[in-house]
């Protein structure tokens, strides 16, 4: 059996430096989880890691801190100045922690196997924490977009589908819901993939109606579910926490259920009689104020809405609408989109 190596001051010094670096990086991540995301679970986890490293930050490491001149003191990199977004700062500090833990893991493997094991666990744990923070940030971005969104386009089958949608996006549309009743899955997938690509170009939300499989395949921002579609809880397990889930509601009971199930927004209607849902009775404007004004969820009025009746809805307190024929069947989709958007200004 080989003899346990003598731990010289150089190794003690580098372990000390990386314990400091790792704990500092963890503190930055923890503070963002605390103030930026209000995530108690991650706060507890990261605080625990900092405590573990603190317990192993022995005096032998601290005493070696100034025993040998450190040529790395004061060195920085231009990329540090370029970090402006919180997620950039968090990602940089996740990398800092991972690198520091790797150094500690390698150099303490023989002299302090307990510390080496802890460093390895933290290194792998930070990979998962960073992913969780990114997913939460992605969800926040989507929620912010939907809260600011006043107009959603629900597509209908069209030979000029892509052209019509892109014209609306160029005109300022920020949300597209792909709806199809076709049984041709390859065509559906191809259409959804192209619309998803267009929405990403214009920084707009792309939602798939009903089809969770297609939503996942094209990396959509979420799905919209009807009352007879797959339950929201199951959809959430499949999609994950970062995607949006919307629900069609027709009464207060369905609205409360959408809230309880964790939906991110709802479509309320139909306000008017519509060709898209001819079997549903028109609810009228009064229904919106009685049903939707009590919810904290963003809600879209839906059903036969166009330029001629939109102002009445806005006067009644409607902040968001979803339309189909008003844009899909328009001779000038760009002009109609602009007019609908301008009505909210």
Contact 245/277 with Cβ under 8 angstroms? Answer: no
The predicted pLDDT at position 290 comes to 85
Q: What is the tally of structural domains in the chain?
A: 2
Evaluate whether residue 276 is within a structural domain: yes
The predicted pLDDT at position 76 comes to 58
Same domain, 135 and 158: no
The predicted pLDDT at position 182 comes to 87
The predicted pLDDT at position 8 comes to 79
The predicted pLDDT at position 4 comes to 43
Question: Is 248 in the active site?
Answer: yes
C-alpha to C-alpha distance for 126 and 29, rounded to whole angstroms: 10
Same domain, 294 and 317: yes
> Please, what are the averages of pLDDT over each run of 10 residues along the chain (345 residues)?
56 94 98 94 97 94 75 58 80 97 95 95 97 93 95 96 98 97 93 98 97 97 95 95 95 95 95 74 86 93 94 94 96 97 95
Contact 230/216 with Cβ under 8 angstroms? Answer: no
The predicted pLDDT at position 140 comes to 92
The predicted pLDDT at position 281 comes to 79
Kindly report the pTM of this predicted structure: 0.79
Same domain, 20 and 113: yes
Among 65, 179, 256, 335, the active-site one is: 179
The predicted pLDDT at position 265 comes to 97
CATH of the domain at 31: 1.20.1260
Among 170, 277, 319, 335, the active-site one is: 277
The predicted pLDDT at position 75 comes to 54
Among 248, 283, 320, 334, the active-site one is: 248
Domain containing 48: what range? Answer: 9-67+78-141
Question: Is 21 in the active site?
Answer: no
């Amino acid at each position: 059996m080989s003899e346990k190596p003598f731990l010289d001051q150089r190794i003690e010094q580098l372990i000390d430096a990386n314990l400091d670096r790792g704990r500092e990086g963890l503190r930055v991540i923890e503070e963002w989880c605390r103030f930026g995301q209000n995530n108690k679970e991650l706060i507890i986890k990261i605080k625990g890691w900092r405590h573990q490293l603190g317990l192993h930050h022995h005096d032998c490491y601290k005493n070696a801190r100034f025993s040998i001149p450190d040529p790395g003191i004061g060195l920085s990199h231009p990329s540090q100045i370029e970090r402006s977004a919180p997620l950039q700062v968090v990602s940089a500090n996740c990398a800092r922690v991972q690198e520091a833990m790797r150094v500690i893991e390698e150099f303490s493997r023989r002299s302090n196997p307990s510390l080496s094991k802890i460093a390895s666990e933290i290194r792998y744990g930070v990979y998962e924490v960073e992913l969780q923070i990114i997913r939460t940030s992605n969800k926040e971005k989507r929620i912010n977009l939907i809260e600011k969104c006043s107009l959603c386009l629900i597509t209908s089958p069209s030979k000029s589908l892509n052209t019509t949608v892109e014209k609306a996006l160029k005109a300022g549309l920020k949300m597209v819901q792909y709806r199809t009743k076709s049984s041709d899955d390859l065509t559906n997938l191809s259409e959804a993939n192209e619309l998803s690509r267009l929405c990403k170009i214009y920084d707009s939300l792309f939602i798939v109606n009903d089809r969770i499989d297609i939503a996942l395949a094209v990396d959509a921002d979420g799905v919209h579910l009807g009352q007879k579609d797959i339950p929201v809880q199951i959809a959430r397990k499949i999609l994950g926490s970062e995607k949006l889930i919307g629900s069609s509601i027709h009464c207060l009971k369905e609205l409360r259920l959408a809230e309880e199930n964790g939906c991110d927004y709802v479509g309320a209607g139909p306000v008017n009689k519509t060709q898209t849902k001819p079997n549903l009775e028109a609810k009228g404007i009064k229904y919106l104020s009685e049903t939707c004004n009590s919810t904290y969820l963003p809600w879209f009025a839906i059903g036969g809405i166009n330029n001629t009746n939109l102002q009445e809805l806005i006067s009644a307190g409607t902040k968001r609408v979803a339309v189909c024929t008003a844009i899909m069947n328009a001779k000038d989709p760009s002009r109609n989109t602009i007019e609908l958007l301008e009505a909210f200004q």
